Structure 1
Amino acid sequence: MNRKYRKLPRNTDYSAYRHPRWWPTWLGIALMWLVSQLPVRLQWWLGKLAGLLAYRLAGSRRHITEVNIRLCFPELTAPQQQALVRKAFIANGIGLLELGIAWFRDPAKLTGITRVHGLEHFEDALKHGKGVLLLGGHYSTLDLGGSLVTQYIEADVMQRDHNNPLMNAVMTRARERRYGTVLGARDLRGLFRSLKQNRAVWYATDQDYGRKDIVFAPFFGIEAGTITATSRIVERSGCQVVPFSHFRREDGPGYDIYFHPALENFPSGDDLQDATLINQTIEREVRRAPDQYLWMHRRFKTRPDESDPGFYKRR
């Protein structure tokens, strides 16, 4: 957490943020709201500019992205890898502007440019009566995709709090309007309560959470620290795990949402086998639109052997 806000309590009551210290954040939120009212095509254009600017100026994030792309797409030439890095910044720049759409606009107005694929797989999984884990990933359409999903299904969501308490308040209140329940990232009791009620819960495992309760399973051919909590959750609840993803269409303003059949023979009793299946599932979705994944995250930060050299040290 940012040290500046470490001792501040989490509070979604806007009246707690009247002090002048919050005015810069309020100004940023107002700007997000204004931009969110623009036509989607114009927002995409502005997002592209923002992404290109970040590509030029955010040296450390560009380095992380370059390392990830080089590791995960060794079959590409160096110029092709760099082109993908640039496209990833553009996609995430657009995603940054789409936060305003997700938080401040009615997602129902975007259903006309949204296509849903495989909804029957989700409906079949829900018929088991034990709840559904929606196995998602950190794509650049993260918030908007989740907002759009709730136009077709009822779901709860697990979230990691934003470092800035005011931004967290705006994000949480926006998600509370879309989802049934917004659960904290560590709220396992709430998660099991939702599953027991045969609800769906948006759930993502594709980040590096350190060495606790993980196995090292391949992700794009690289041994990646992968949490084993998913297997424990399914063992205890009996829920179904339905992979899903959401992407921006390249042929014009529009979005695609994909649901896939529930994972079979999961959990298998072998944590490494389960983690490998999850990583393979997410990798398959990432390959649909490689530039729309959050490559700026140090996915391979934790190495199998602590003495192994890190990937992200700059030469």
Structure 2
Amino acid sequence: MISRAGIQFMRLLARLPLPLVRGLGRALGIFLYWAVLPRRHVVQANLRTCFPQWSEAERTRVTREVFIHVAQAWLDRGWLWHGDPEVTRTRLVLTGALDELAGEEPTLVFAPHFVGMDAGWTAITQQVARRFVGIYTKQSNAILDAWILRGRHRFGQSRPFGREQGVRGLVSALRDGEVMYLLPDMNFGPEESIFVPFYGVQAATVPSLSRFAKLGRAKVVPVVTRLTPGGYEVRVLEAWPGFPTDDSAADTALMNERLQGWIDTMPAQYYWVHKRFKTRPPGERSIY
């Protein structure tokens, strides 16, 4: 549980040179790799399922890198949420099809769960002059909850939208020109999920990208964030033509297929610590 002392530590990290912060993150990641054995098994099971062609040595190497990148990204929240705004801006390199985020057209950002997902949100809310909305799950720890909300909504015109508030308000926000930042590529349980392939394995996936795009009459713009030695590269891709269709299952399968292509370019930066295949089709055994 994070405490007030923990938040002060993150504030202190914001003042340190980035190489030192990343070095601390590397040390923390290696410690967690050895100390948190159940989560290491989750990462290894995910990689074994998605990359069966890899050798055991390669899976071990990438598993260790996953823990390092997750820890580094966590400590980076110090400067993302507390650092000098100009320092934050220089470390967040926003590239690609930036015109896709301009104007007032209803826009749905597909932001996959790479370790830099918070950096991507910070970059676009700080550097793009539009209103943004993100779905938020309230934390049980009140101190942690308040800290996350302040940090994520530090810049620009952005606001959280609680899951318990329902769909109608989000659809209205999209239609009113707010940019919605959506991360739908995790296993959120069997409720409302459908099974579509992910690396050739049936994975429970919420078809929310297709549904929100359709209900909000919004274009879908992927934003892929890569952790780099100097901070993060936040790449805005072209809007997907012909998306959504009338087939939400096909749309969701396409989402996973395109996500795979991005993961293949930086597999150690995807959030494999999550039990992506926790929900299985009837009769299938757990991979964990």
The answer to whether the aligner puts 1:167 opposite 2:167 as a matched pair is no
Does the aligned pair in 1 maintain the 2:135–2:162 contact within 8 Å? yes
CA deviation string 1:34-53 (max 9, x = no partner): 12221111100000000000
CA deviation string 1:18-69 (max 9, x = no partner): xxxx9x7111111121122211111000000000000010011101001011
TM-score by length of 2: 0.92
More divergent stretch after superposition (203-212 vs 281-290):
281-290
Match of 1:140 among 110, 115, 121: 115
The answer to whether the aligner puts 1:279 opposite 2:244 as a matched pair is no
Deviation, structure 1 residue 121: 5.0
Residues 226-237 of structure 1 mapped to structure 2, 5 A cutoff: 226-237=205-216
Does the aligned pair in 1 maintain the 2:224–2:236 contact within 8 Å? yes
Higher-Rg member (1/2):
1
Q: CA separation in 1, counterparts of 2:22 and 2:278?
A: 31
Q: Secondary structure at the match of 1:150?
A: helix
Deviation, structure 1 residue 163: 3.1
Does the aligned pair in 1 maintain the 2:94–2:123 contact within 8 Å? no
Q: CA separation in 2, counterparts of 1:149 and 1:286?
A: 21
CA deviation string 1:119-170 (max 9, x = no partner): 33524xx55x541110001221222232122232233222222331210111
Identity of aligned residues (%): 27
Does the aligned pair in 1 maintain the 2:116–2:232 contact within 8 Å? no
How many residue pairs match? The answer is 284
Q: CA separation in 1, counterparts of 2:83 and 2:97?
A: 24
Does the aligned pair in 1 maintain the 2:119–2:232 contact within 8 Å? no
More divergent stretch after superposition (232-241 vs 177-186):
177-186
* Matched residue, 1:51: 29
The answer to whether the aligner puts 1:177 opposite 2:176 as a matched pair is no
Match of 2:198 among 181, 197, 219: 219
Q: CA separation in 2, counterparts of 1:165 and 1:113?
A: 30
C-alpha root-mean-square deviation of aligned residues, in Å? 1.9
Residues 85-100 of structure 1 mapped to structure 2, 5 A cutoff: 85-100=63-78
**Structure 1: stretches of 5+ with no match in the other structure:** 1-21
Does the aligned pair in 2 maintain the 1:121–1:260 contact within 8 Å? no
More divergent stretch after superposition (240-249 vs 179-188):
179-188
- Give the letter for the 1:176 counterpart: H
Q: CA separation in 2, counterparts of 1:288 and 1:218?
A: 19
* Matched residue, 1:245: 224
Residues 304-315 of structure 1 mapped to structure 2, 5 A cutoff: 304-305=281-282, 307-312=283-288
Structure 1 runs (4+) deviating above 4 angstroms are none
Does the aligned pair in 2 maintain the 1:108–1:151 contact within 8 Å? no
Q: Secondary structure at the match of 2:158?
A: coil
| Residues 149 and 226 of structure 1, relative CA distance in 2, 3 Å threshold | same
CA deviation string 1:58-104 (max 9, x = no partner): 01110100101111111211101110000101101101101222221
The answer to whether the aligner puts 1:38 opposite 2:16 as a matched pair is yes
Residues 122-137 of structure 1 mapped to structure 2, 5 A cutoff: 122-123=100-101, 127=103, 129-137=104-112
Does the aligned pair in 1 maintain the 2:97–2:238 contact within 8 Å? no
* Matched residue, 2:172: 193
**Structure 2: stretches of 5+ with no match in the other structure:** none
Deviation, structure 1 residue 285: 2.0
Q: Secondary structure at the match of 1:151?
A: helix
- Give the letter for the 2:158 counterpart: G
| Residues 281 and 108 of structure 1, relative CA distance in 2, 3 Å threshold | farther
Deviation, structure 1 residue 279: 1.0
* Matched residue, 2:43: 65
Does the aligned pair in 2 maintain the 1:130–1:198 contact within 8 Å? yes
TM-score by length of 1: 0.84
Match of 2:5 among 27, 33, 48: 27
